[in-house]
Structure 1
Amino acid sequence: MPLTVTAIRNAKPRAKPYKLTDGAGLYLEIMPNGSRYWRWRYRYAGKDTRLAFGVFPEVTLAEARERKDDARRALRDGIDPATQRRAARHKRLLSAETTFEGVARQWLASQKRKMAPITHKKAERTLELFAFPWLGPRPMTEIDPPELLAVLKRIESRGANETAHRLKARVGQIFRYAIAHGMATRDPSADLRGALAPIVSKSHAAITDPAKVGDLLRALDAYAGHFPTCCALRLAPLVFARPGELRRAEWSEFDLDAGEWRIPADKMKMREAHVVPLSTQAMAILRDLHPLTGRGRYLFPGIRTAGEPMSNNTINAALRRMGFDRDTMTGHGFRAMASTRLNELGWNPDVIERQLAHAERNKVRAAYNRAQYMAERRSMMQAWADYLDSLRVGGNVAAIRRKRV
């Protein structure tokens, strides 16, 4: 006979568990401590299986029967109700515990050894400013392409198109990390291809005209700011490293006897150690600076905190104070200035590219380039420094013209 609520309430505990059956495999198991558990017994793939439906009276008789009917429908369709329940539970756990910010923080931690510190910090800052306020508390499994696009469009509407594209790429990396670790099932950024306006590339502003380069060098020499900043400004055109590499330069990386600056791989954009041969002019600047900052870690420590390098905006701010606006010259522009002039003066492009630490797409050629050119690079760097001296005083610029090889 089917169960009734009265029969369930009148059932007394016994020394051992026993069952009150309702039919079609549904029964109530009464435990010695008085607890009452709904169970459903069924066969799937030739095996007897039990499924728990909850505790009476939290789950009523009517609710237990409803759950049994749902499970029977799944079984009729060839679905194991137990497997279906585990999948649903997993999805609920994902929704409740794996928010976008939580997973993004895990991804950031996993990237700390892979990214350059400045790149890692920028990635974290971009997420904190543009993603976490809107996506941070959202479950990973509930973020869909339109929701993500709304966040990206908000950035794009401010004119920060490159930032929107960068954030889209980061979000894609985070979702792929989540998928690999069982915290998401798909990447919504993959459906947004072409949804953002394309990036219009813009080169870093740089002075390349020889006469104007001479004006710039004289302005650098005349700059009367913080002494380490003055040294950084004078050193920048001589080594044409990336601004981040220069401002974070450490005394331990310099061998003044050998005349070399050895930048470790974790500071380089391409994640490969790089050597900068130092001209006599660069060595003179370093020896002038050493008595002031040589006992510390950084060549160019921050003004407020000596334990940190100078700000990434220091060089550009100094250029602005000298009258060079952002469309005329930037800290990164010293690299473009050197590349342009050295190519026009006839130096081997492979030597120039290797000294700029640009990536070589051809792996065989890259391995060859890493092993070669040091003697030519050392010669080029000294000739380049001499050439800049000639521009500074307005002399003949033909002194370092070389035949391409």
Structure 2
Amino acid sequence: MPLADTAIRSAKPGAKPIKMADGGGLYLLLNPNGSRWWRFDYRFDGKRKTLSMGTYPDTGLKDAREKRDTARKLLAAGVDPGQQRKAAKSAGEERAANSFEVIAREWHAKQSATWVELHASRIMLRMENDIFPWLGSRPIADIAAKEFLATVNRIVDRGAVESAHRVLQNCGQVMRYAIATGRAERNPVADLKGALPPVKQTHLAAITDPHAIGGLLRAMDAYQGSLVTKCALKLAPLLFVRPGELRQAEWAEFDLDTAQWNIPAEKMKMREPHLVPLAPQAVEILRELQALTGRGRYVFPSARSPQRPMSNNAVLSALRRMGYGTGEMSGHGFRAMARTVLDEVLHFRPDYIEHQLAHAVKDPNGRAYNRTAHLAERRNMMAAWADYLDTLKVGGNVLPMTRKAS
């Protein structure tokens, strides 16, 4: 007789397992501990086999019969239902292992070795906030271009068009990695060229007029904030490194006797070590600050904890307190200031300037310059730059800005 739910519920376990048959090979195994397991016995290639169909009551009588009927149909078609289940499970695990999130994290782990920490964390944060919730669990080979577009358009809708472009670019990089590692055959992100609204080009605010630079330097000298922040302000135009490189400077990286700052590769955007020659004016500022912070790790420690560098916005906030608005000057603006004036006023060779800015510069044979390339010339350039800034600060002779003939 077929089983009934009332018979299953009222059945009492015994000292040994009890088989409660339903028919067609399906039965409920009532164990001494009270657990109830559905089993399906069948023969395939002359061998007796058993397939688990779940537990009661999670799998009810009706569901168990449906699973049995599905298995019998497979048998009728010459398919072993046990092997079919293993294959389906394996395929599911493979699809999970090949999900977009798994591969994206794998790609990120490999690439982050060549990135600065802040850049790496920003990329992963974008993925975790804007991509993984919608596409993370999808098998990477199944994601279509329209799905990528719908996902990044959520970023566009909140007004972050530039971020949308960057996230889509990262998705394309993940897809190319998936192709290279055999988990996908094509990159659907490539089909979305021109699909997002264009990014409005904005330039980081920078003061490049010599008269205005003189006023900025005088305002720095009159700054009433902490000595640490004041020294960072005064060194920013002299060194023109990136704001993150300046604020994370450590005393161990400086040799004030030889007047140079060796920035390790892991702190640089291009992941290459960088050497900054120090003009006498920069050395003087650093020696003054050394008396205050020289016993600690950081040249510019946080006011809250000497174990951390000053905040990202310390120099920027100081500029705002001095009256320089967002459209006038930014932390990155000191790099544009130096680049423009060194070229158009002091007429130094562009490759000297670009190398000192830690940009990718190639020699005539196409090889990347190392950190000591043109060091003597760059020392002279940094000294001349510091002297020129002193001239501007006291309101001395201001050379006109002229573009050199090519």
In structure 1, give the amino acid aligned to 2:133: L
**1:231-246 map, 5 Å:** 231-246=231-246
Question: Does the aligned pair in 1 maintain the 2:100–2:138 contact within 8 Å?
Answer: no
Residues 1:219 and 1:85: Cα distance change in structure 2 (over 3 Å) = same
**Counterpart for residue 357 of structure 2:** 356
**Counterpart for residue 273 of structure 1:** 273
Question: Does the aligned pair in 2 maintain the 1:301–1:309 contact within 8 Å?
Answer: yes
**Counterpart for residue 161 of structure 1:** 161
**Counterpart for residue 382 of structure 1:** 383
Residues 1:120 and 1:367: Cα distance change in structure 2 (over 3 Å) = closer
In structure 2, give the amino acid aligned to 1:246: L
Question: Does the aligned pair in 2 maintain the 1:141–1:184 contact within 8 Å?
Answer: no
CA distance, structure 2, for counterparts of residue 73 and residue 330 of structure 1: 72
Question: Does the aligned pair in 1 maintain the 2:391–2:397 contact within 8 Å?
Answer: yes
Tell me, what secondary structure is at the counterpart of 2:275?
strand
Instruction: Output one character per residue of 1:38-67: Cα deviation in whole Å (capped at 9) or x when no partner.
Output: 2253548x9986543335786566644532
Question: Does the aligned pair in 2 maintain the 1:348–1:404 contact within 8 Å?
Answer: no
CA distance, structure 2, for counterparts of residue 142 and residue 372 of structure 1: 48
Residues 1:372 and 1:113: Cα distance change in structure 2 (over 3 Å) = closer
Structure 2 segments unaligned to the other structure (5+ residues) = none
Residues 1:226 and 1:369: Cα distance change in structure 2 (over 3 Å) = same
Question: Does the aligned pair in 2 maintain the 1:301–1:310 contact within 8 Å?
Answer: yes
What is the CA-CA distance between 1:141 and the residue it aligns to? 3.1
Residues 1:121 and 1:369: Cα distance change in structure 2 (over 3 Å) = closer
Instruction: Output one character per residue of 1:140-186: Cα deviation in whole Å (capped at 9) or x when no partner.
Output: 23997777656643432343222233344556677899999999999
Residues 1:323 and 1:67: Cα distance change in structure 2 (over 3 Å) = same
CA distance, structure 2, for counterparts of residue 208 and residue 301 of structure 1: 29
CA distance, structure 1, for counterparts of residue 29 and residue 264 of structure 2: 70
Tell me, what secondary structure is at the counterpart of 1:288?
helix
CA distance, structure 2, for counterparts of residue 337 and residue 93 of structure 1: 55
Question: Does the aligned pair in 1 maintain the 2:37–2:53 contact within 8 Å?
Answer: no
CA distance, structure 1, for counterparts of residue 365 and residue 75 of structure 2: 59
CA distance, structure 2, for counterparts of residue 228 and residue 60 of structure 1: 72
**Counterpart for residue 133 of structure 2:** 135
**1:163-242 map, 5 Å:** 163-169=163-169, 194-242=194-242
What is the CA-CA distance between 1:287 and the residue it aligns to? 0.8
In structure 2, give the amino acid aligned to 1:382: A
Residues 1:197 and 1:78: Cα distance change in structure 2 (over 3 Å) = farther
What is the CA-CA distance between 1:289 and the residue it aligns to? 1.0
Tell me, what secondary structure is at the counterpart of 2:368?
helix
**1:2-401 map, 5 Å:** 4-5=2-3, 22=23, 26=25, 28=27, 37-41=38-42, 43=44, 51-54=51-54, 63-71=63-71, 73=73, 81-82=81-82, 84-86=84-86, 88-89=88-89, 114-123=114-123, 126=126, 130-131=129-130, 135=133, 140-141=137-138, 152-169=152-169, 194-344=194-344, 345-360=346-361, 365-370=366-371, 372-396=373-397
For normalisation by structure 1, the TM-score amounts to 0.75
What is the CA-CA distance between 1:295 and the residue it aligns to? 1.3
- More displaced 10-residue stretch of structure 1: 153-162 or 312-321: 153-162
- More displaced 10-residue stretch of structure 1: 369-378 or 273-282: 369-378
What is the CA-CA distance between 1:201 and the residue it aligns to? 3.1
What is the CA-CA distance between 1:376 and the residue it aligns to? 1.3
Tell me, what secondary structure is at the counterpart of 1:296?
coil
CA distance, structure 2, for counterparts of residue 163 and residue 36 of structure 1: 53
CA distance, structure 2, for counterparts of residue 170 and residue 47 of structure 1: 53
What is the CA-CA distance between 1:291 and the residue it aligns to? 0.8
CA distance, structure 1, for counterparts of residue 154 and residue 257 of structure 2: 54
For normalisation by structure 2, the TM-score amounts to 0.75
CA distance, structure 2, for counterparts of residue 183 and residue 86 of structure 1: 21
CA distance, structure 1, for counterparts of residue 258 and residue 227 of structure 2: 25
Question: Does the aligned pair in 2 maintain the 1:98–1:139 contact within 8 Å?
Answer: no
Question: Does the aligned pair in 2 maintain the 1:220–1:230 contact within 8 Å?
Answer: yes
CA distance, structure 1, for counterparts of residue 66 and residue 363 of structure 2: 65
Structure 1 segments unaligned to the other structure (5+ residues) = none
In structure 2, give the amino acid aligned to 1:307: Q
CA distance, structure 1, for counterparts of residue 187 and residue 58 of structure 2: 39
Question: Does the aligned pair in 2 maintain the 1:265–1:273 contact within 8 Å?
Answer: yes
CA distance, structure 1, for counterparts of residue 179 and residue 39 of structure 2: 35
Residues 1:223 and 1:31: Cα distance change in structure 2 (over 3 Å) = closer
What is the CA-CA distance between 1:70 and the residue it aligns to? 2.5
- More displaced 10-residue stretch of structure 1: 158-167 or 276-285: 158-167
CA distance, structure 1, for counterparts of residue 83 and residue 193 of structure 2: 35
- More displaced 10-residue stretch of structure 1: 313-322 or 32-41: 32-41
Residues 1:75 and 1:214: Cα distance change in structure 2 (over 3 Å) = farther
Tell me, what secondary structure is at the counterpart of 1:359?
coil
Question: Does the aligned pair in 1 maintain the 2:96–2:137 contact within 8 Å?
Answer: no
Length, aligned pairs only: 395
Question: Does the aligned pair in 1 maintain the 2:14–2:31 contact within 8 Å?
Answer: yes
CA distance, structure 1, for counterparts of residue 57 and residue 153 of structure 2: 51
Residues 1:22 and 1:357: Cα distance change in structure 2 (over 3 Å) = same
Question: Does the aligned pair in 2 maintain the 1:206–1:334 contact within 8 Å?
Answer: yes
